[in-house]
Structures are given as C-alpha cells and as structure tokens.
Structure 1
Amino acid sequence: MEELNLKALLADESFINYCKGYPAHDVAKWENWLQDRPQYRKEVEEQKRIVQALAYHATVTTSEDNYLRLKERIAKKNKKLDPGFRISSWLKIAASLLLICSISYLIFRQSFLSKPDNNTQSLVIPGEDKALLTLADGSTISLDEVAVGTLALEGGVLVEKTKSGQLIYRVSGSESNNKSASNTIATPKGGQYRLTLPDGSKAWLNAASSLHYPIHFENNERRVKMTGEVYFEIAKMEKRQHGRMESIPFYVETAHQEIQVLGTHFNVNSYLDEPGIVTTLLEGSVRVTSSLNGESILLRPGQQSFLDKHFVVGDADVEQQVSWTAGDFVFKSESLASILRKVSRWYDVDIVCPPHLGKLKFDGIVSRSQPLTAIMDMVEITGKAKLKLTERRIIVTD
C-alpha cells in the first residue's frame, strides 16, 4: 500500500469492514498497519469517516438496503483480487458511486442536520483516547498527557506508550522477585484506550471502564478483572505438561461472572447501569460461569449470553456489539434508553428521559467522532421525541 486514495480504499473489502467494525481480523489488520505507518492515520481516519457518513446517510434516508447491496457487489468482486489496492474498472465505478453518495451526504448534513444549537453555548465534544494507569507501587500516569516512550520498568517488564497512543507491555532482559505485581488501567466517561498485555493479548476499553491485570502471568493460568465494557483478543499460550503441550487458559472476572477462554475474540459489557452482563463471542470458544449461582454455559462464535439472575443464550448481532471498537455507534431497533446510556458514557453528559419515551426504538449509524448533536439529530428527525441540551444534560420530551 504505497499510496492512499479514496477510491482505492472504498474498493478494498477489508477497509470497508474496518470502517464497519467487523470482522475483528480486518479491524486488527488496519490498526496494525496504521501503527507501523502513523503518518497515514489522519488520511485514513478522514476517509473512514466518509464511509461511516455514507452508512449513516443510508440509514437516515431509509436506503440502507441499497448501500448494503452495493457493498455486497464490491465484496464479490474483491474475492477475486489479491490483498492490496488493485482495482478493476468496475470497482472504480462502484467507488465513484460511493464517493458521490458520500458527498451528497455531506451536503445533506450541512444543509439540514447541522443546525445551530441554541440550548448551550459550548459544543459537547465526543470522547477520545484517555485513561489513567495505576502502577504496582500506587503511582498513577495520565496516559493522554504523557509523552510517547517507556513509562515504567516493573518486574522485568517495560511499560510503553506507542506513537499510535496504545499501551504495550514488553518483557525485558531483567527479572524481579515481584511476580505478583499488578497494574490497573481505567477510562473516564468520554474516554477509551487500547493496550497489549504482557502475554500479547489485546484489550480495548470503552468509556467508564477498567481492567486490573498482573504484569507477569502465572504458568497455569492468566487472570484479569474488569468493569464496564472491554473487547478482548486473547493470545494463545501453551506450556509443556506430562510430556505434551497444553493451552494456558485466560480468565476474565466481572462483578457477577467469570469467563474462561483459550484463545479467542470476544466482547464483555458489564456496566452496572445495564439490565445485565452481555458476553459476545466472535471467534473461538468461551465458558461463562455465573458467580451468583454457579450456572455455566459454553458459547460458540456468533452467540452471546445475557446474565441477570440466569443465563439467556442467543444469536448475536456481532457488528452492533463491537462497532464501538471501530469508532461507531450502531443502533438496530435499539431502545432510546439504551442509546442514551451509551451517549451518557461517551459524551459525559447526564440524561433525563421519561420511561415511556425510553422504550422508543431507533435505527442508525453514527460515528463516535461526531459531536453529540449528530445523535440528537438522528432521534429528532424521526419526530418521535424532542431532545434539549442544557449545559451537560439532555432532556427528552414528547
């Protein structure tokens, strides 16, 4: 990928998937590519927003099916291509059509949705990469304020902040007797952060979330504790036992459940203000156990569990569940109450919504990089409810 241009990106199936947030391997592919080439991040983010804008426009104008059909046609053609940016004449035409639709969307937003907000003097901006890291000695580091480079050396492990803003743990040549030392990373409302754990596993924290983990994993198990919402990509680790190689399990603890994995991709939503804990499996297998009653279930890829008092297992809308990791809000027949809980965490605002309005259902796709008014517009354009922004509080009325 020597050059970047809009048409080429729009014709690349993996980039479209990256913009949509699924499958995870395409998201990881582009994030890794950008991590090695930070000079392209601004361009890619700008072009990603155009794709997201197209998706949102398709939803607002109730023509999402046309957008998906066009994307499927692109995907079928792309299956015949090698990875990269080689485009057939047909794909160039398709990309041009997508670009025209995107420009139409931008005009639409400029003329219709981007109306002045008379209810507040300052624009409520979206969240960003920010988190607080607590080291084993109790000292703290504000990750959004500290410079790129090595942040600490603990127990033979280097803690580094990369150019792309991620946190990475690397085993150094030195050793320490303090094998039980742990770190905690916590995001505030309006924050998110990504890190690579000492075993190579990756974790993406959503707003108002935390992850507690050892800087050295034990030989027989790997165990972390979390709150809020975290997406995991677990690295496989093995040890020799009884003359053969065996996988070292990875455990994720929340307030009311434990997840056992061997090597997989999954998302856990355990916010206390949600009706229950939702665990969504993308790849591999996980066993989820309730700490309330000992009940245990096994998830297959594409499934999710919901835990309140007991487990309920069903098929997952994976795209919707992990869209936040790619920078999107994706709402599919989602209640206004659920939407506003996500809005509250990401934009750090308070919500006042009557119960009967909270039951209203909405569909839409909005980039998390958009200002708060983008989601407010999505709701108000339906005529179902009115949203008023006063200082940092959204008030919902009929």
Structure 2
Amino acid sequence: MLKAISGTIAARIITTAMGLLVAVIAGHRLGATGLGTIGLIVLGITLVRLGMDLVGGSALVYLVPRVALGRLLRPCYLWAVIAAVAGYGIVELFALVPEGYAGPVAVLAFLQGVHAIHLSVLIGQQRIRANNLIAVVQALVLVAAFAFLARDPGADAHVFITASYLSIAVALVLSIAAMRRNVAVHAAPPVKVLRLLVRQGAYVQMANGMQLMNYRLAYWLIEKFQNTAALGIYTVANQLAEGAWLVPKSLAVVLYSKISNTEGMEGQRLLTLTFLKTSMAFATAVVAVLVLLPSSVFQWVFGPEVVGISPLIALLIPGILSMAASQAYSHFFSGTARNIHNVIGSGLGLVVTIAAGLTLIPVFGLEGAAITATLAYCINAVYQTIAFMRITGSSFMDLWPNGADGRRLRRMFGDQTIRRSEN
C-alpha cells in the first residue's frame, strides 16, 4: 500500500505541477482572456464526459474484480460513441463553449472517455502504478506540446486543443497496452452486467454531474455577469486552491481500489477513517502555505493580468478543506456501491450553488463566486459525514486523530516495507 500511495502522490504532484505550468504559459502567452477560454473548453469536455461515463466510469472499478473484462468493455465503448455525439449537440445548441470549439470539445471528450474506461480497469485490477505512469506521461506531453505551440505570436486557445489531441493520443495508446485482459474474477459475477453498469453508473454520474456544477457553475455565471478575463483570474485561484486536494485525491484513488477489493464493513470503515484524517492533514498544510503568499507572487508567476488571487484563496479555504474530507467519503460510498449518498450530498451542494451563485456573483463578483463554492462544498461534506457515521456506526470522536490512526498507518506502511524486502 505504501508503494501505491507514494506513487500516486508523486504522480499527482507531477500532473498538478504540469497543470499549473499550462496556466503559467497561457497566462503569459494568451493573457487572462486566453485562460478563461481554456477554462471553458475544459469545462465543456468535462460536461460531455459526464454523459459518457453513465455506462462505465468509476462504476467499472467496482465491477472489474467481479466480471470478465470482455463483458464490461463492449457496452462502455458503444455508449462512449453515443454520448459523444449527444454531447456535441448539447454543447453546440446551448453555446456552452466559445464559437468554433464544440467539435474539438466533443472529440477530445470521446478520446478521454475511452481512456478513462481503461484507467478504471487498471484501478479495478489494482494496477495503480500503471495508472500513475500513464497520467504523468499524458501531462508531460500536454505541457511540452502547448509550450512549443504557444510560442507563435498569434497563438490562441486553439493551440491548447492541438496539444490536448497529442497528449490524449499518447495516453490512449499506453492505456490500451497496459490493460490485462485475462484476469480471474474473485467474486460471484452479477447476472445482469449491463443493468448493474447503468445503475451504478447512473448514481455515480448523477453525483458527478451535480458535483461538476458545484465546482464549475460559477464559471458560466462569471462569464455571464463579469467577462472572460475575470473568469481567467478565477480559474487560476481555483486551480491553486484545489492543489490542496493533491494528496486527498491520491489517497482516494488507492482507497477506492482497496475498498472495492475489501470484504467486511469494519475494514472498510477503518481504511476510510485513516485516509480521511491523513487527507485533511495534508490539505491543511497546503492551504496554510497558499494563504501566506502575497498576490504579487501569483501575478509574477501567472502573468501581469492575473491579479487579486490571495483574497479569493482565503475565501475558498473552508470549502477546500471540506472537499478534502469529501474525497474519502465519496470513494467509500462508491467502493461499497452506496453511490446514492454521493448523489444526495452533491444535490444539496448544487442547491446552495445555484441559490448563492445567482445572489452573490452578480453583486460581489469573484469574491461571491468563492463564497458560493465554500458554502456548497461545506454542505456536501456535512451530509456525507452524517451518512458515513450512520452506515458504519462511527462517532464524532472517531473522526478526530488518535493514536490508533498512527498505528494503522505504520502497520500499512510496515507491511508494505516487509513485503518489499522479502521480494
């Protein structure tokens, strides 16, 4: 487990750094407006991906140890094609991305969706290292290609599209090569695979869709009530603050894989509690560093047009810490096929996002967007905490760090060290 955790954290550090490098390059070469346009492109891709992951997605992680791979991949591939076509129509009809970008957004969403299917298979097979290596290679190719193409004095957001094509093509080839197609299942396979895929996928995507709105509805509201340049500034602040999720998300990937392959509620409960507290500790350390940095540092790094970052980060901190906890809860619910609680939590957050966003963003601008995000993240985490405690019988005292957590971590790491020395 130590190797999986450390490898995943290292991969997340690299991919997060590469994502920030893309923002740095865009800020200096394309300006705040270019940053905002790229933010809308990425949001459009993510939106199309939501429908695509309805059959497949993270539900695959739960099913891979239980169902032969061939029975899983065919419906996932077919649905990816259907969802990409439908997604293109929606994005074009409602003008959710800038003019001329709907086609590339749909194609990139399709390629990324197929790639995500393969990565879910790798996680379900507990091949965390392969998953991490592919993610790192993809991020490196994206940055290298974008940096090269953005040197053109007339460069705009289209160069990001081209760089994305190159990076996903490389990652897709690697993920195809990495999958193990003849792995014995260790649990009784469900009889109706497609029905289970859709049912679990529907819960997952309902939660993901509402969570996406919690994360990114503010982008469209800022674009509507402010402008694309203001959106570019907010995307940088948001990306920096969400860097605090680097370790929580890394741990969550490992947690999801372990819980999906762990029988017994007590083992799943203890795993989740240990990962929860570790995630919160790391997230707190990251936001403490960010809040101490002056805005001038961010302006120097991301370009002269990117101003006012520090106040936005300060307003986002409570929500960022809440979502660090939510990473552990969400993967507990997904890994134990209780995705309905992710749906409810995200739904509550979405209600807050809509009400607060429409009220605060027109009046307070970017600060209103940051407050909206914090309120939505907090209500989501509160619900998930209550649901987790009810299901597992945990108490509030179990959520606080104690000596048992340290012993569990040492035992996990110690067992990994022993196995590694024996090999």
Q: Report the TM-score when normalising by structure 1.
A: 0.30
Q: Higher relative contact order at CA 8 Å, sep ≥6: structure 1 or structure 2?
A: 2
Higher helix share: 2
Q: Report the TM-score when normalising by structure 2.
A: 0.29
Higher strand share: 1
